[in-house]
A and B are shown apart, each in its own frame.
Chain A
């Protein structure tokens, strides 16, 4: 039986969403611990989220 490519894309998107969620929650924790570093944490969070998002989109367009 052939597995449709869209299923793989869906799995990757779920993975990407999980990853971004994890980044968000860790950033929240970090900001709660050190509110004065929130600017730096946000920047690092956005970069990491953007890199993961790129993979998600690549999967979507490959499907």
Chain B
């Protein structure tokens, strides 16, 4: 049924009014203040996208530097192992002294400084201070460990509930269809009936790991593990190494000396094919990283609109958009886990493919 004309007119008018309200507000407020709010939002988003050495849930007072959260252990290697709590940095406000050495936080990274915390810069504005090797339990590490433990707990419990009955109990009831879906719709069609079993462990782990950690990223805890490129790089490397080490001779033959191709073309194609094996995990890494980063960035920018348009209409529009986008992000969280698993299975399938035809 079509909406009557006046309803549509009202809808359009409301939207237009909203925009004029923004425009007026922007004109009225002084440009300087507006700029500082925008800069603050930008800084906050950049801070959110980075890993951090302490787990802060929210800030109570910016000026007094009081935050609600807890410090995490810092483990660095700088002529010997040094372990201390990140509360020594006082959220980057003070210099930590450990065994006569001084360390400070510079953009979330630990650098070695003197007692005053001086940071030296080169011409391009980068810090030239020595950076000790950092093995700290950062926020991301905490959540990777937490999700791993959760998964061990969940799946052990599920496995136990199969003893004595064919029906799983408790959490297994919800997980069984997903596991069966991964087996029947991802693993078997891509890898094949014969070889799929040895890859199931990895496929299930990677699917649930990415999915749970993406969902945690949408929670108000402020974690974002999969938008750290190092994490996605590791996941992609797992896929790469499993592909490389389980591949049969057909796979390598088709990369370096493909049959039924003229010799000249073989020489041309071999480097391209070899490069292709690296591009596959690289695209896995970029895809997961970029999707999640883009999602967080857009969501936070939309939330930041509230502080720029200080009218009720701006806030409500920002709220509606943010809610809609959050639902979309729920979908993206599952979709990215699915795509990663799917493409991993596809690459494994290529590695174990048997060519009977020639």
Contacts and interface: CB of A to CB of B under 8 A. Distances in A.
A57 B339 CA distance: 15
B238 to A, nearest CB: 18
Contacts of B283: 51, 54
B290 A47 contact: no
Nearest to A50: B339
Contacts of B338: 46
Interface in A27-53: 39, 43, 46-47, 50-51, 53
B290 A39 contact: no
A39 B185 contact: yes
Contacts of A47: 339, 342-343, 346
A58 interface: yes
Contacts of A43: 185, 189, 342
B228 interface: no
B339 A61 contact: no
A46 B339 contact: yes
B277 to A, nearest CB: 15
Interface in B271-314: 283, 286-287, 290-291, 294
A60 to B, nearest CB: 7
A47 B346 CA distance: 10
Nearest to A54: B283
B342 A46 contact: yes
Nearest to A55: B283
Which residue of A51, A57, A58, A60 has the most chain B CB atoms within 10 A of its CB atom?
A57
Contacts of A57: 286-287, 290-291, 294
A51 B339 CA distance: 10
Interface string A9-22: 00000000000000
Given A43-B185, A57-B291, 10 more contacts: A39-B185, A43-B342, A46-B338, A50-B339, A54-B287, A57-B287, A58-B286, A60-B290, A60-B294, A61-B290
